[in-house]
Structure 1
Amino acid sequence: MPVIDVKHLTKTYTTYKRGAGMGQTFRSFFKREEVSVQAVNDISFAIEQGEICGMLGPNGAGKSTTIKMLCGALYPTSGEISVLGYSPARDRKRYVGKIGAVFGQKSQLIWDIPPVDSFNMNKAIYGISTPDFNHRLEELAALLEISQVIEKPTRVLSLGERMKCEFVMAMLHQPDILFLDEPTIGLDVIAKVKIREFIRQMNKKLNMTCILTTHDLEDVEELAHRVIVINHGEKVFDDSLQRLKVFLGEKKQVSFTFVESVQNTPFDNDYTKVVERPSDFQVTLEVDTARISISDFLENISRKHGFSDISVKELPIQQVVMNIYESAQA
């Protein structure tokens, strides 16, 4: 039986159009035009105990709204949510003790006091015994290597140190389910590696279920067993990471800055597609690495053109969604 069961979930917001200029602003005091925005549209999925599920989608796709409804912070407009047998919005008081949450752009820490004082506040809120609290705090601080920083005021900590403390706040009561919304946003490579390793260890040790929303495909590749892609409030993909790679075709995005103009140079062929040409000397290409290795591709380009700069990246999430739509239409 799944620990998270979502059926036909929908969330619609009602907002108002005010218009621009003094005249329209004045009229809006007496009559406002209602605008309905459907953030989530008829989404269904189920997640098993101990699973790490990545939730992908471009900005405004409905990922964060879905997470907030699963946490109980928002009431759904329609549909059903069952998490650990609870209805998150209706059973919030009993439910919140079973979950943890880390939001990359919202902090649980109090700015002017040390994180350890915020940890003690959570100890009281969740009714954690002193021996359990001390043991868990020592273990978590050691795993995240923040034993020396938790007594400094939060405001003087680096972003990486604050995010590690956010994870301690979320994990002190040992939740059954952890919701992660952009947990590595803005972090450097080293901090990202530490956070990912921590999530893996907690998942393995506690058999903890994790829902991860992110724009970082590396987070998903390193952590997730399964991927759900949402676009315009609708679920467009729900399967394993391996299946997602089939949709992507193992493609990379390669950007060049050439030493001479390539304005009239064609690059499109069976394994390469031009994504954009920012200038006469720059071009970004989508390369199918299932058909040609990156090393062979770069060697082919270097034989014909000299370049001064190059970057190789995963496809952006917008391109991921586009490829999924193209595959479905085909």
Structure 2
Amino acid sequence: MIASLPGARITLRSLELLIVGLIRATGDELWLICSRPVKPGSFRFLCNALVHCDSLRDAIREAGRFLSLVMDDLRLSLHVEGDAACLALNDLSGPSSQKPQLHGTILLFAYGILCWLSQKSIPLKGLHYSFEQNFFSGELAKVYRSPIKYNEARSELVFPRDILQWSVVPDVADARKFLSAVPGILLIRYLDEITISDRVRNILKRNVKYHLSLETVAAMLATSPQTLRRRLKDDGVSGFQQLKDDVRRDFAFEALAKSNLSLEEIAASLGFAEASAFHRAFRRWSDLTPGHYRFEHGATGVHH
């Protein structure tokens, strides 16, 4: 009742619990603000699919296709106008008192997901809504830290077009962590707290089979090699090659300890042309042979 009063506030945790309760009570991940329910599990399926995209442009397209399958009310579209990109909602529903809630929720979730996929706080050029300003509208400016316009032709997020080329950083394991924090993590603006070394490490993990260069990773992060090298040093990382070795070493340790892959298969998964090269690298990492490490730490019944 208090929350129904103008100017009243509830905590983020209370709002999160309210949303979770609504989903459970309604069996609908958008708590009955669409013309038909969105089945529980849909959001999880989407996030697990998006981590396999290469760029934010690809992720937006994939999300648009997914939205058209689970929702009749809206379509997601991407428009590039000069140096700006617009992620727009095309409304297919008729007049509804729930339109502000629906548009606001979808754009908030879209923004949160894009920030998570890029592991950056995305700067917005603007936020447009196709409905009138409400008494709670002032709160939205604090969330997006962006100019907001109302009674526009369409509801949309507007951001610099070069963001479309940003790489998708998380992997499937990261998706599990993200989903365990939903919906709370989507109710606040993404904080740019992840370090540059974590971003580089995530990219290398996703591409462990390939010998990515510093220049390639810098381009994926929309920065220069010189800046990336400096920021890694600021993070206390001795060098890019050390990060690459750490990622490959950790992958090898886990594969030897927990999988039934043969040594040849692990070597190929790490991009080694020959198993002998993998053996030499592994001895540098651990002073052990891969077979000895597996014997001491890992899986039985595997192929050597």
Normalising TM by the smaller chain, what interval?
A: under 0.3
Q: What's the TM-score once normalised by structure 1's chain length? A: 0.24
Larger RCO (CA under 8 A, 6+ residues apart) = 1
Q: What's the TM-score once normalised by structure 2's chain length? A: 0.25
Task: From the two aligned structures, give the one with the greater helix fraction.
Answer: 2
Task: From the two aligned structures, give the one with the greater strand fraction.
Answer: 1
